[in-house]
Amino acid sequence: MPKISTRGQHMPESPIRKLAPMADAAAQRGTKIYYLNIGQPDIESPAAALDAVKRSDLRVLEYSPSAGFATYRKGLASYYQGIGLDVEASDVIVTTGGSEALSFAMGSMLDPGDEVIIPEPYYANYFGFAQALGAKVVSVPSSIESGFALPPIAELEARITPRTKAVLVCNPGNPTGYVYHRDELEALRDMALKHDLFVIADEVYREFVYDGAEAISVLSLAGLEQHAVLIDSVSKRYSMCGARIGCMVSK
């Protein structure tokens, strides 16, 4: 029997997906299940998007451009400009969901043995993406006492080694819901510039902010133009997780 690669043998199973069959089986037995394991919004997908799929008059489903259709990239650029970001269509690459955008971003920055710093708790698949690349996640715990704010910069800097290439943050946070303040992001920016690191920002929950909070994008921070990559998706904003449409945005 052919042997599975060492990398394949060590690829971690998603703990979120691992729990799903157990929950479904319990539900079939009549147990009331509260599904807190997956980020599926409880709002309806836009009718206009669903109608557009139904009305498609395509006769041949051709290959799309590698970076995504120009009309969509222009539309995304217009959206980002509308929230105050200096983004052109040429800065946008469309991906198969936010997960592929994360994989592309990490793969562009990390060689085998390289390290990415991530505040913990974090979206479990970050670990799997790094593992697939032969890279290492260096986690820095945030505290419940601070509401899961960004760990002190001194604690992040203490984890930097010669193999550290990037810092990955999720804002607003998954699974904590914490929204980073501007001073936290500026401190993160200063650290990234000081140590010449990339900053990957998973911002797919941008619209899910409440009580006057503001989700500040890393692309709005002066000086990070050559260091920051924004990860986005239609999954949360439009409750279209099954569409598998994401993007990465960077200068």
In a domain, residue 18? The reply is no
Q: What's the mean pLDDT in 200-229?
A: 96
Q: Which CATH number belongs to the domain containing residue 225 in this structure?
A: 3.40.640.10
Number of domains comprising the chain: 1
In a domain, residue 90? The reply is yes
pLDDT of the residue at 34: 87
Nearest to 250 by CA among 217, 227, 221, 223: 227
Contacts of 30 (CB under 8 A, 6+ apart): none
pLDDT of the residue at 58: 82
In a domain, residue 166? The reply is yes
In a domain, residue 192? The reply is yes
pLDDT of the residue at 6: 84
pLDDT of the residue at 45: 95
E-only strand ranges, 1-151:
92-95, 115-120, 136-141
In a domain, residue 34? The reply is no
Q: What's the mean pLDDT in 218-228?
A: 97
DSSP structure class, residue 35: -
pLDDT of the residue at 56: 79
Taking only the tens place, the pLDDT of each residue in 77-109 is 999 999 999 999 999 999 999 999 999 999 999
Q: What's the mean pLDDT in 156-176?
A: 98
Contacts of 197 (CB under 8 A, 6+ apart): 160, 164, 165, 166, 167, 191, 227
Question: Rounded to the nearest 10 degrees, how much is the dihedral formed by the CA atoms of 190, 194, 195, 201?
Answer: 20
In a domain, residue 193? The reply is yes
In a domain, residue 32? The reply is no
Nearest to 168 by CA among 132, 128, 133, 138: 138
- Placement of tokens 């157990």 in the chain: 22
**How far apart (Å, rounded) are the C-alpha atoms in residues 197 and 187?**
13
Domain that holds residue 63: 39-249
**How far apart (Å, rounded) are the C-alpha atoms in residues 198 and 201?**
10
pTM: 0.92
Above 90 in pLDDT, residue 42? no
Q: What's the mean pLDDT in 152-162?
A: 98
In a domain, residue 58? The reply is yes
DSSP 3-state of 167: strand
Percentage of the residues of the chain whose pLDDT score is greater than 90: 82
Q: What's the mean pLDDT in 154-168?
A: 99
pLDDT of the residue at 55: 82
Contacts of 20 (CB under 8 A, 6+ apart): 37, 38
Q: What's the mean pLDDT in 103-128?
A: 97
Above 90 in pLDDT, residue 233? yes
Nearest to 237 by CA among 128, 80, 24, 92: 80
pLDDT of the residue at 61: 86
pLDDT of the residue at 241: 93
Contacts of 165 (CB under 8 A, 6+ apart): 109, 110, 111, 114, 115, 116, 197, 198
**Do 47 and 239 form a contact (C-beta atoms < 8 A)?**
no
